[in-house]
Amino acid sequence: MTDRPTPRPPRLIVSDLDGTLLRSDGSVSARTRSALAMAEDAGATVVFATGRPPRWMREVAQATGHRGIAVCSNGALVYDLHQEKIIEGFPLAPEIGRAVVEAIRTSIPGVSFGVEFGDRFGHEETYLVAGDRLNETFIGRISELLVAEPVLKLLVKHESYEPDQLLAKAREVAGDLVTMTHSSKIGLLEVSAQGISKASTLATLCAERGIDPSEVVAFGDMPNDLAMLAWAGTPYAVTGGHPDVLAAVERRCPSNDDDGVASVLESLFR
């Protein structure tokens, strides 16, 4: 009988953070830290792909030993966790932002808008922000916010809509101008430049490193992970994730509170 070749370990591991790698309290378990270190020590590149801005990455960098690279704001920028430094950005053009705001506001009364810059967040007065985030935000008119600094992400919020419903309505009127998605359980949309997603930025990173998508293992749980999971050669949906993700991805890993990412990495690299 001919021996079967041993499968090659993946060259790149990419994981969403909230709801996927991080536990529900936002922490990184000791088991997950160990599994990430195992993957890097075996020669794999570790990437975190998240909707988070870079200012929310410091605790993650510290908790994971300043390992790897982060694709932040759904692909709008690349962040080096070793140095805590922005490497590359893909902003939203102000004129496109204005057109999106006008189209959505006309079609969906009651929406409010915010603008993510990476190191701070500007928003309209009607856009409600959690109290523990007020120190990193400021209020302004959306027309002024869109030209204040390079815009990484436009946020669209409605207090009465479910996220899937809001996303469908917004795509009807402005989906041809930008990339829209969501990763929330409330009526909150995340808007990036057309063609920019976790997948597009990961594809650029991999091309620069000579890594084929077939050599990538990816983990995610929400609609903003769908493009990434479709692009990666070996995608995993987190148990309990969004129905669209569970429908699109065959492989499953345990939940974030059960260290699902770590369990898969242990099987791949141990």
Look up the domain containing 79 and give its range: 12-90+197-269
Question: Once rounded to an integer, what is the mean pLDDT over residues 203-221?
Answer: 97
pLDDT digits (tens, 9 = 90+) for 140-197: 999 999 998 899 999 999 999 999 999 999 999 999 999 999 999 999 999 999 999 9
* End position of a domain, from candidates 134, 164, 193: 193
Q: Residue 258: which of 81, 13, 4, 29 has the closest Cα?
A: 29
Beta bridge partners of 112: 157
Q: Are residues 103 and 84 in the same domain?
A: no
Q: Is the pLDDT of residue 3 over 50?
A: no
Q: What's the start-to-end Cα distance of the chain, in Å?
A: 26
Altogether, the residues listed in the chain come to a count of 270
Q: Are residues 146 and 186 in the same domain?
A: yes
Q: Is the pLDDT of residue 103 over 50?
A: yes
Q: What is the pTM of this model?
A: 0.93
Q: Is the pLDDT of residue 4 over 50?
A: no
CATH of the domain at 153: 3.30.1240.10
What's the number of domains the chain is made of?
2
Q: Are residues 122 and 254 in the same domain?
A: no
Higher-confidence residue of 188 and 84: namely 188
Q: Are residues 124 and 176 in the same domain?
A: yes
Determine how many CB atoms are found less than 10 A away from the CB of residue 207: 11
Q: Are residues 125 and 175 in the same domain?
A: yes
| Domain-embedded: residue 236 | yes
- pLDDT number for residue 6: 42
Q: Are residues 157 and 125 in the same domain?
A: yes
Q: Are residues 189 and 201 in the same domain?
A: no
Q: Among the listed ranges 20-24, 129-133, 192-196, 232-236, which one has the minimum average pLDDT value? A: 129-133
Q: Are residues 118 and 188 in the same domain?
A: yes
User: What's the pLDDT band for 5 if we cut at 50, 70, 90?
Assistant: very low
* DSSP code per residue over 148-184: HS-BSEEEEE-SSS-HHHHHHHHHHHHTTTEEEE---
Q: Are residues 28 and 66 in the same domain?
A: yes
| Domain-embedded: residue 246 | yes
Q: Are residues 69 and 123 in the same domain?
A: no
Mean per-residue pLDDT of the chain: 94
Q: Is the pLDDT of residue 132 over 80?
A: no
CATH of the domain at 35: 3.40.50.1000
Distance CA 14, CA 101 (A): 32
| Domain-embedded: residue 7 | no
Beta bridge partners of 46: 13
* End position of a domain, from candidates 161, 193, 225: 193
| Domain-embedded: residue 4 | no
- pLDDT number for residue 66: 82
* Interior angle at CA 200, CA 20 and CA 183, nearest 5: 35
208 neighbors 218 (Cβ within 8 angstroms): no
**Residue 22: C-alpha distances to residues 133, 215, 219 (Å):** 19, 24, 12
Determine how many CB atoms are found less than 10 A away from the CB of residue 144: 10
| Domain-embedded: residue 2 | no
* End position of a domain, from candidates 193, 227, 257: 193
Distance CA 80, CA 68 (A): 7
- pLDDT number for residue 131: 67
179 neighbors 90 (Cβ within 8 angstroms): no
Q: Are residues 73 and 203 in the same domain?
A: yes
Q: What proportion of the chain, given as a percentage, has pLDDT over 70?
A: 97
Q: Are residues 118 and 203 in the same domain?
A: no
| Domain-embedded: residue 145 | yes
| Domain-embedded: residue 5 | no
- pLDDT number for residue 2: 41
| Domain-embedded: residue 6 | no
Secondary-structure breakdown of the chain: helix, strand, coil percentages, each rounded to the nearest 5: 40, 25, 35
- pLDDT number for residue 135: 79
